Amino acid sequence: MTFPDHNTLIWTVAALATFGVILRPWHVPEYVWALIGAAVLTLFGLIPFTAALSAVAKGTDVYLFLIGMMVLAELARQEGLFDWLAMYAAQHANGSSQRLFNLVFLVGTLVTIFLSNDATAVVLTPAVYAATRAAKAEPLPYLFVCAFIANAASFVLPISNPANLVVFGSHMPPLLTWLWHFTLPSVAAIGATYLALRFTQRVHLRQPLNTSIAVQPLSSGARLTAIGIALTAVVLLLASAFDMQLGLPTFCAGVATASLIHLRQRMNPMPVLKGVSWGVLPLVGGLFVLVEGLAQTGVIDTLAHALASLTAHSGSQATWGAGIIVAIASNLINNLPAGLIAGSVGHIAQLPTQTTSALLIGVDLGPNLSITGSLATLLWLIAIRREGQHVSALDFLKLGIVVMPPALVAALAALLI
């Protein structure tokens, strides 16, 4: 009897764990599958225990970033800041569904840029649903905005998507360099996404809306939260400008904002802490271990050398190939493991910034094709199901195949200008 070799076993475990994360069999949470895969690799000696610990430690900056952002987002949700923004947009639509669509798109873009795509998916989505119900509008056209802008605007700034930290890691470019490379591709991606969504939802956007929408005054806690978020954005922009890692500043800003508001209002912080999606942290840690296992099979080195050879032959071909292939891979295996692999490839091959930027665009924007492409989209799906809305994988794919490819092509073309 012939047993599978070492590398085959690693590939099998990684594949099963990844599909468990994507498909969630028996409704078992995503992080459980990632942890099972990491535990199997370690306990059965497929990767050394020290290598697994080192892989988990590599994600420290990402964990801190996620904690800070999730605390801010949950604080904003509980204080009603996002509900106020959504209802304010519904009121100022003045009965126009097209104007409401534009306002939701604008709010979603700003939330993604300054609070990350996960905040748009988790916190803004329920608020938009409430606003559409108050305006007596069909919810899905506006909910789709939350899903697609969460990925389309996720590379405007380094803080717009945790995947950005995964791809660049400790090699995160300074803010001005980031803006130089990604401003035009971001504008192209956001613009193409807007046009595609407006076109596909044009029938629904002809319906008149309810104009009698009451907006409650913004509470003091919500105002303080908004100030805290604005100050956090300033701190992170300064940290990025001085080429500092973003995890610790984000963590400190989020915890400080929540602490000051709770002390001022003499509130119990436990509701905010309970509302944070802590399962995201072991999910990311488990994925780091799975990617470390793949690295030990040599496949990442092979990919890195192949991309380096293509870059030496033709920089533009490498840019197009890197962006498109990673975009497709992100939908097959989810963009978190795809981002980890892309980041490892970029570091091993010492790729030029343009090619690395294409990898990141593929990781961030590619998941707009399918419902399992990114963690943000999966979180969005959970959020709309709680509101009684249902979107099948096929329905999302039918829309994604219209929305994502033009945005990806536009972003990569803008990167080459």
Task: Let me know: does 34 contact 290? Beta carbons within 8 Å.
Answer: yes
The single residue listed with the structure tokens 């003045």 is: 94
Consecutive H or E run containing 295: helix 280-296
Task: Let me know: does 389 contact 143? Beta carbons within 8 Å.
Answer: yes
Q: Could you please report the per-residue DSSP string of 360-415?
A: HHHHHHGGGGSTTS-HHHHHHHHHHHHTT----HHHHHHHHHHHHHHHHHHHHHHH
pLDDT along the chain (417 residues), means of 10: 70 83 80 90 89 88 84 83 81 87 93 85 84 88 95 92 80 84 96 96 87 78 85 81 80 88 80 81 86 83 85 86 91 82 82 89 94 83 84 91 97 93
The single residue listed with the structure tokens 């209002």 is: 265
Q: What was the pLDDT predicted at 327?
A: 94
Q: What was the pLDDT predicted at 399?
A: 96
Gap between the Cα atoms of 191 and 153, Å rounded: 10
Count of all residues that appear for the chain in the document: 417
Domain ranges of the chain: 1-58+241-296
**Residues 80, 190, 381, 167: is their CA dihedral positive or negative?**
negative
- Three-state DSSP class for 207? coil
* Burial class for 2, CB neighbours closer than 10 Å (0-12, 13-18, 19+): exposed
Q: What was the pLDDT predicted at 4?
A: 67
| Assessment of whether the complete model's pTM goes beyond 0.75 | yes
